[in-house]
Structure 1
């Protein structure tokens, strides 16, 4: 196009009288100018440049932005001085402009869970609209399962039902999918915060001498005190026994180490034939590789950051960090090169889109490429 033709299009742009065909011409001209410049910027920076250009034009209507291939050159030589009507042009050359769709944002997880009753019936908790009784358990409906206004599941025992060691326990399982977390209050008043891709199996009421639950994945426990009935968490070959305390258990199948972090009170960790007592601020690690219990002081805030809606990294290696993102965003991660020596400190909020989290991680000189739901990592 000639200089006069471009000027005519820009005047129409200002007056909001461009036809769709003219809009395409103007977009193509700008992108052509960008591709012939020597200044290299990526496609996102190009779009920002284009949006800044169009923002200087007093239009009320949104104009669709055309995205082009990555690492395109931006037209540093383009200058539009609207006040003087001065424009600089270069003679365009014929070329094919390749158009690509803007990558879709990968959104964070949320409050999602599945409750499996003793009869095998499954209730998708995120689908429930009524915040009241959702089920009853027992031959005589001894236990009522309710959902509070905040979405927390609670178990209420009929006070007229006498519990005894001979009573047959009914078991429920609360599980969370990828990108899901859920909270529950057990029949004894113990609060459980369940992280993504996790499950906990528990009795609908605690009969007998112990309160036993089984955990796969990660959960934070605030155990109701009962000195006569210890609370036991089983996860793989590890047992944790408490009377009443706050602690976090990290026991995913795809993690090499089972980590138990104590915030207050005390817990007894049993692994095979070994026992150790944790103090507040300590974390026990057990694994098949070590074949023993090791204890160390840790940043407890980092251990339970997920419960408080944060990613918090305390000298965490890259692959451990990316496994957290896989569970929360439902992504798959591929590695191109050695990243074994990359460590992270700091963190960000879990309610952000994945692209924002990756920007934080890129501060440690790691590069990411997003291809659909696959994240490719480069050192």
Structure 2
């Protein structure tokens, strides 16, 4: 039978007018095709084929395995729509075609954060409208906390406020969840870009002779210059001191190394009893596994790519890359096999669904299998 004849029989089946004799003809055609087919598709090809078929055929299915009748009619439909090279037949005795449903897309993170005030009150920032006054801080409410039109938290100190070096500071904490980032402008004008799964504790105004903040996770700082009041970032037993500069700090608890990358100006790194000065383009690495502060030249664009909405990898190992994806997409990663020697260069945009990012990584001959929110990695 040619394709025109098969299509005519198929249309009769869909209308419910197919005779037993015609059904036998289709059955014979099916068995002939099955016995001469040795092609088998990958899981991803099956997914694409299945999605295409759903849009073209009135298929009824249960769970992930579709038992057919007629198996003949569906086989004929597939053959006519896609050609025999885009699907595979099971053995005739099993009389079943297996298809795999396309996994649900995992969306990227976004602008999410939680602000904790000095009195312990927590504010979910996604619930606040732009240009709202969020709160006031200080004994005389001399500090106003607002959200500007771009969703950035800003601290505005009343110029008439009479703050003394001895006045006690009120502290706030900005934190981001998995899949969240947030920006803030501190009372001195310092801009802070907070990456996902991070937090920064800071005074609502900088009294005293220094500006001290505490960081967990990752943040990029554009420090307002004030030569009379140094700016210090503390993370565990690691400290950074600057007067006014641009730098990035990566200090996640689940990372073995704390990395400080300098883009502009100068910073002093203090770790235990050691001290080192960074120049622009350099990165310091400190760890309990190191005997001293390690300094190296790096691609600064890769270090701050997250701030600019990108993943950018500069000879990054696979597990470091996957930790970034875990924090941004809220996934869990499992490894099957040795991937210790896999390195990545290049990158992509963070506003893409996870499946698109994984396709980029697969160019380095790594395989991924998505099971719900778990990503299994194969070498």
TM-score under structure 2 length normalisation: 0.83
Distance 1:177 1:265 in 2: 31
Q: CA deviation at 1:47?
A: 4.5
- Report the secondary structure of 2:213's partner residue: strand
Q: Write the deviation string for residues 265-324 of structure 1: whole angstroms up to 9, x where unpaired.
A: 000111111111100000000000003201100000000000001111111111111111
- Report the secondary structure of 1:166's partner residue: coil
Distance 2:364 2:345 in 1: 10
- Give the direction of change, closer, same or farther, for the CA distance of 1:207–1:81 in structure 2 (3 Å limit): closer
Q: CA deviation at 1:127?
A: 1.8
RMSD of equivalent CA atoms: 3.3
Aligned 1:124-273 pairs, distance under 5 A: 124-273=124-273
Q: Which runs of 5+ in 2 are unaligned?
A: 17-22, 66-74, 83-88
Distance 2:177 2:229 in 1: 31
Distance 1:76 1:177 in 2: 50
Distance 1:36 1:195 in 2: 56
Aligned 1:1-379 pairs, distance under 5 A: 7-8=7-8, 10-11=10-11, 37-49=37-49, 80=80, 95-98=95-98, 100-379=100-379
Asked if structure 2 preserves the Cα contact closer than 8 Å seen for 1:39 and 1:76, the reply is: no
Asked if structure 1 preserves the Cα contact closer than 8 Å seen for 2:50 and 2:99, the reply is: no
Q: Write the deviation string for residues 97-119 of structure 1: whole angstroms up to 9, x where unpaired.
A: 45654311111100000000000
Distance 1:139 1:294 in 2: 44
Higher helix proportion (structure 1 or 2): 2
TM-score under structure 1 length normalisation: 0.83
Q: CA deviation at 1:129?
A: 2.7
Q: CA deviation at 1:236?
A: 1.0
Q: CA deviation at 1:168?
A: 1.1
Asked if structure 2 preserves the Cα contact closer than 8 Å seen for 1:112 and 1:126, the reply is: yes
Distance 2:164 2:192 in 1: 24
- Report the secondary structure of 2:312's partner residue: strand
Q: Which runs of 5+ in 1 are unaligned?
A: 20-24, 70-74, 83-88
Distance 1:97 1:79 in 2: 13
Distance 1:194 1:90 in 2: 53
Q: CA deviation at 1:95?
A: 1.9
- Give the direction of change, closer, same or farther, for the CA distance of 1:50–1:333 in structure 2 (3 Å limit): closer
Aligned to 1:22: none
Distance 1:290 1:91 in 2: 60
Q: CA deviation at 1:229?
A: 0.3
- Give the direction of change, closer, same or farther, for the CA distance of 1:77–1:64 in structure 2 (3 Å limit): closer
Q: CA deviation at 1:201?
A: 0.1
- Report the secondary structure of 1:168's partner residue: coil
Q: CA deviation at 1:167?
A: 1.1
Q: CA deviation at 1:132?
A: 1.7
Q: Write the deviation string for residues 119-177 of structure 1: whole angstroms up to 9, x where unpaired.
A: 00000011223532011111211100000111000000111111111211000000000
Q: Write the deviation string for residues 206-227 of structure 1: whole angstroms up to 9, x where unpaired.
A: 0000000000000000000001
- Give the direction of change, closer, same or farther, for the CA distance of 1:48–1:9 in structure 2 (3 Å limit): farther
